[in-house]
Amino acid sequence: MTIAPNRKAFEAAASWFVQFQVEPPTLTEQRAWQLWIDSDPAHLAAWNQMEQLQRHLGTLPPELKRRALNAGQQRRQVLKLMLLLAGTGFVGWNVQQHTSLGNAWADYKTRVGQRRSLSLADGTQIQLNTDTAIDVSFNSAQRLIRLRAGEILIQTGKLGDQRPFFVETRDGRIQALGTRFSIRQLSGSTRVGVLEDRVSVQPTDSSIGAQILKAGEGADFDSRHIGVIHPFKSSEVAWTNGQLIVLDARLGDVVRELGRYRNGILQCDERARDLRVSGTFRLDSTDAVLANLQASLPIHVRYFTRYWVSISHNG
- The span from the CA of 231 to the CA of 252, in Å, is 22
Q: Is the pLDDT of residue 109 over 80?
A: yes
Name the helix (H) or strand (E) containing 153. Answer: strand 143-155
Output the domain CATH number for residue 248: 3.55.50.30
12 shares its domain with 68: yes
125-150: b or e for each residue (b if 16 or more CB lie within 10 Å)? ebbbbbbbbbbbebeeeebbbbbbbb
pLDDT of residue 266: 87
pLDDT of residue 143: 94
Can you tell me the mean pLDDT for 20-48? 80
pTM of the entire predicted model:
0.75
Dump the DSSP string for 218-256.
EEEE-SS-B---EE--GGGGGGGGTEEEEEEEEHHHHHH
- Amino acid code (one letter) for 132: T
Helices and strands in the chain: count of H runs, count of E runs = 9, 16
Decide the pairing of beta strands 265-268 and 308-313. Answer: parallel
Greatest Cα pair distance in the chain: 69
| Domain boundary residue, one of 208, 234, 260 | 234
pLDDT of residue 21: 64
- Other beta carbons within 10 Å of 153: 22
Q: Is the pLDDT of residue 226 over 50?
A: yes
Residue 68 Ramachandran class (φ > 0 left, ψ -120 to 50 alpha, else beta): alpha
pLDDT of residue 82: 59
Q: Is the pLDDT of residue 7 over 90?
A: no
Domain that holds residue 284: 242-313
- The span from the CA of 55 to the CA of 306, in Å, is 10
- The span from the CA of 82 to the CA of 91, in Å, is 11
207 shares its domain with 298: no
What does the DSSP 8-state code read for residue 57? G
| Domain boundary residue, one of 177, 199, 234 | 234
- Amino acid code (one letter) for 61: P
Residue 224: inside a domain: yes
Q: What percent of the chain clears pLDDT 70, i.e. is strictly above it? A: 79
Residue 1: inside a domain: no
pLDDT of residue 37: 86
What does the DSSP 8-state code read for residue 189? -
pLDDT of residue 1: 41
Tens digit of pLDDT for each residue in 41-62?
Answer: 888 887 877 776 665 554 444 4
The SS3 call for residue 277 is strand
Can you tell me the mean pLDDT for 188-215? 93
Q: Which residues sit opposite 152 in a β-bridge?
A: 128, 183
Can you tell me the mean pLDDT for 229-249? 96
67 shares its domain with 165: no
Can you tell me the mean pLDDT for 135-153? 93
192 shares its domain with 170: yes
What does the DSSP 8-state code read for residue 205? S
195 shares its domain with 122: yes
82 shares its domain with 148: no
pLDDT of residue 127: 98
Tens digit of pLDDT for each residue in 64-98?
Answer: 545 555 544 455 555 566 555 554 444 433 333 33
Looking at the structure of the chain, the number of domains it has is 3
Q: What burial class does residue 253 get, using C-beta atoms within 10 Å of its C-beta: 0-12 exposed, 13-18 middle, 19+ buried?
A: middle
Residue 58: inside a domain: yes
216 shares its domain with 123: yes
Assign 23 a pLDDT band (cuts: 50, 70, 90): low
| Domain boundary residue, one of 97, 114, 133 | 97
pLDDT of residue 61: 47
221 shares its domain with 258: no
216 shares its domain with 304: no
- Alpha helices by DSSP H, the chain: 7-22, 27-39, 41-54, 62-69, 74-87, 93-97, 251-259, 270-273, 286-296
Residue 226: inside a domain: yes
